[in-house]
A and B are shown apart, each in its own frame.
Chain A
Amino acid sequence: MATQTDPESGTGGVMMRDRLVKRIGEIAAGGFLLAIGGLLVWILSTQVNYTLLTSTLIARRFAEAFLLVLRIVVISSLLSVSFGVLVGLGRISTSNVTGRIAKGYVEFFRGTPLLFQLFVIYFGIPRLWATGQFPIQDWAVPAAVIGLTLNHAAYVGEAIRGGISAVPDGQMEAARSLGMSRVMALREVVLPQAWRNALAAIGNDQIILVKDTSLLTVIAVPEIMSVFRNINSNQLDPWTPLVWVCLLYLAITMSMSQLVNGLERRSDWGSDNSMLGRLSRGTSGGDTEGGDR
């Protein structure tokens, strides 16, 4: 660090300063926790109607929405990750045509709002048939799955592409030198490493997918936020249903994080040399081993 060479502050001065920074951080974090925690306790004890909260009427409506959202999330998640891998492979294809199509796909689905895409699919597609001829009766949920899949496959594709380009060229060269075809080398050598590189970004995107289901209310999918809006239509007690909403989303997103963590651990085949890994183990002294990489 630049300030370390400051002749005024010896090593002792640096250590004092570091400890001070750490202490300030702890005070700030602690103060924040206290403020938020206090507010939360106050809301939960004065604003929430617990009889209503646990009444079967409201519980059943949220439970139905939750199960529907869960189904949509699981299917869209599996589809968008699978399709996203293909998009990522398309992005690195040696074929110019495939590469450009994949690039165009990503540009379009990242470059327009999900809401727009949902409208195109939900309202636009059925109009391509003569009035009343569109064969699918309950189009809202299929449209939702298609929209979420297409949209998030673009993000997963970019994560995979990034993961692949972070694999050193020597890996492909070593695999090809053994006599593997390009496809085999990709499958056996490059993609397992790319997958690990991309996992965090993919997990991040899939959590956003969960929250994106809240948009589905506008194409008439009876999801969690729409239940809230129905219950809250009299505007009298927003906090009670909001507690439900919060807990239900967190239930899905936190399970998702757990799943990603599990996958990351499973593909942790070597020592973790990332900066984050070293920081969380506390082995990087920053100042003490600054020049080791």
Chain B
Amino acid sequence: MADPLVEFDGVEKYFGDVHVLKDVDLAIEERDVVVVIGPSGSGKSTLLRCVNRLEEIRDGDIRLDGRSVLETDVNEIRQQVGMVFQSFNLFPHKSALGNVSLAPQKIRGIPEAVADDRARELLERVGLGDQTDSYPDALSGGQQQRVAIARALAMDPKVMLFDEVTSALDPELVGEVLDVIEDLAADGMTMVLVTHEMGFAREVGDRIVLMADGRIVEVSETEAFFERPETERGRQFLSRLL
């Protein structure tokens, strides 16, 4: 069998003396959509941020496409991993188009006209074909987050990481962002999502990863997890949601 696309192998992460990820093992296959859930402070964001080395791990290894991320140039890793943040972080001095086409131009040296055409396609894909010239300040939160997704896609990543990307949005804007993510899932994009939207997790996730206190306490097929969780922790987590 082929290597998993992303593989955590005995990962240990500390912030100072605080032990934040404890012996984390997880294998994510190509086209897998993995949803990470768990209480606040359980290490979900840290788990994602270790993949593209926004955080450094102390022990264990993380492999992307069979290669250790620790032994690969950090910028090269990040070009293969798309990341979308809770707070969008769009570049305010660039238009929507400029936000999406900047990295391919500067990093890959793709000519402006080519990068812009591709950026237009991607903005079209997230439903913003008519907003290419708008600056972030003039866009709603939902629109900004969709530009941020297009921006990450522009580097043709192998895997996309989403960290609570709808948490900062007004409720009526959540749907348009989730639609885009569902669309990506349908297209076969490999994704790891941290979310508090359980309905969405159930709909889009192939597997659910439950974290608690820095450990992965359960990994189950989505339906199985919501119908009959295997662990006591899983049952507790679900009962608290109801």
Residues of A within 8 A of B (CB): 168, 170-171, 173-181, 184, 188-189, 192-193, 196, 267, 269-271, 273
Contact = CB atoms under 8 A, between A and B. Distances in A.
Nearest to B99: A174
Contacts of A168: 89
Given A179-B79, A271-B138, A174 B89 contact: yes
Contacts of B77: 179
B104 to A, nearest CB: 9
Contact of A193 (B78, B92, B102): B92
A178 B152 contact: yes
Nearest to A273: B137
12 contacts: A170-B89, A173-B54, A176-B78, A177-B52, A177-B54, A177-B83, A178-B152, A180-B107, A184-B106, A188-B102, A189-B91, A269-B92
B177 to A, nearest CB: 17
B103 A179 contact: yes
Contacts of A192: 93
Interface string B69-109: 00000011111010101010111111000000011001100
Contacts of A173: 54, 85, 89
Closest 3 CB pairs of A and B: A270-B137, A179-B79, A174-B89
Contacts of A170: 85, 87, 89
Contacts of B89: 168, 170-171, 173-174
B137 A271 contact: yes
B79 to A, nearest CB: 3
A175 B102 CA distance: 10
Contacts of B83: 177
Nearest to B79: A179
B135 A188 contact: no
A178 B85 contact: no
B151 A178 contact: yes
Nearest to A196: B93
A175 B155 CA distance: 12
Given A173-B54, A270-B137, 16 more contacts: A168-B89, A170-B89, A173-B85, A173-B89, A174-B89, A175-B91, A176-B78, A177-B52, A177-B83, A177-B152, A179-B78, A180-B103, A180-B107, A192-B93, A269-B92, A270-B92
Nearest to A187: B106
Interface residues of B toward A: which range? 20 to 34
A179 B93 contact: no
Nearest to A192: B93
Chain A's interface: helix, strand, loop or mixed, by majority? helix
A179 B91 CA distance: 15
Residue among B85, B90, B91 with most chain A CB within 10 A: B91
Nearest to A170: B89
A85 B209 CA distance: 47
B136 interface: yes
B74 to A, nearest CB: 8
Given A270-B135, A271-B137, A178 B91 contact: no
A179 B107 contact: yes
A271 B152 CA distance: 25
Interface string B146-159: 00100110010000
B107 A178 contact: yes
Residue among A181, A193, A269, A273 with most chain B CB within 10 A: A269
Contacts of A196: 93
Contacts of A177: 52, 54, 78, 81, 83, 152
A189 B93 CA distance: 8
A182 to B, nearest CB: 9
A173 B78 CA distance: 11
Contacts of A273: 137
A188 B102 CA distance: 8
A178 B103 contact: yes
A288 to B, nearest CB: 22
B155 A178 contact: yes
Residue among A173, A178, A269 with most chain B CB within 10 A: A178
B111 to A, nearest CB: 17
A166 to B, nearest CB: 12
A196 B94 CA distance: 13
